[in-house]
Every structure is written in C-alpha cells, then in structure tokens.
Amino acid sequence: MTIAIGERIPQGTLQIMTADGPAKTAAAELLGHGRVVLFAVPGAFTPTCHAKHLPGFIREAAALRARDVQRIVCLAVNDVFVMDAWGKAAGAGGDVVMAADGNGDYTRALGLELDARGFGMGLRSQRFALLIEDGVVRAVHIEPPGQFGVSSAESVLASLGG
C-alpha cells in the first residue's frame, strides 16, 4: 500500500556516503526530524533524473530552506557508490543528501516501487516527492508513469506557499 498523508515514515535503512565511506543510516534519523523533502527517481544518471529532477532540487535548495525545509534527500534504487558519484557529477554538494536504497527495500516499504524490468532496469522507484515533518508525511506528489512535473522542485516549492 502506498504511503499516505498523515502516516509515519516506515522503519528502514538507507545508505549514504560519508568521509569514512559508505554508512548505513536509519530512515528515521535521515527523514524523521524537522521538515524534510524526500524525492525519488527511477535511476541515477537516467535522462530526466539527471537533466531535470536532481538539478531542480539543487537549484531550488536555498528557496526550500527559506520555507523551513531542513533537509532535501534524493532516493534511488542504486548502490551507494553510484549515488555518491551522481551527486558529485551533478554538484549536489551539501544541498541534497544522496541516499541509496540498493535492494529497493525502503521503496517497497513506502509502496512506491516500479517494475522496470521491461526496460532492463529491474525493480526501481516511482518518481515522487514527499514532504515529511517530524517523521509524518504531510504531502505526497507521485508522478503518473512517464511524466515529470508534480514531483519537481518547482512544484514542491509552489505547494509550500509563499
């Protein structure tokens, strides 16, 4: 079942790259404190994800912070090394946390998995964005298949009001 407004984020573990190498991080630690935007993409370096989705959140990071978003997290069903390389290539720096869900376990717990076997990509994440406040989902923006718009940084920013 897909996560819904008012629900707590599920328990789980994600991986992020640190100065000391890959680190397992509890989802509650990464997503459960303050106001967080979690956005997910079907795959690192894939065309729309690389050209539009991640760059939009990097570009709008300051505007999101001005609306009390303490953390922006990019999630993909990729390994932590790919997510780290993608973040560096895109210039995510300290603006966007690149979180790996290598086996797709957290994506499944959210109920937002995508069967991309027809494209040779296996299990992936749907394209979406969640606004989370202290571990509770406050907004859900899920893209229809093949679309990009409602989960964009600009759309999420507009939904926060001004």
Give the Cα separation of 20 and 33 in Å (integer). Answer: 23
Judge whether 49 counts as a catalytic residue.
Answer: yes
Q: Which of 109, 143, 138 is nearest to 36 (CA)?
A: 138
CA 33, 80, 91, 147 dihedral sign is negative
> Which one of the listed residues 49, 72, 92, 129 is annotated catalytic?
49
Q: Which of 19, 114, 77 is nearest to 86 (CA)?
A: 77
Give the Cα separation of 64 and 157 in Å (integer). Answer: 6
Whose structure tokens read 């946390």? Answer: 97
Catalytic residues: 49
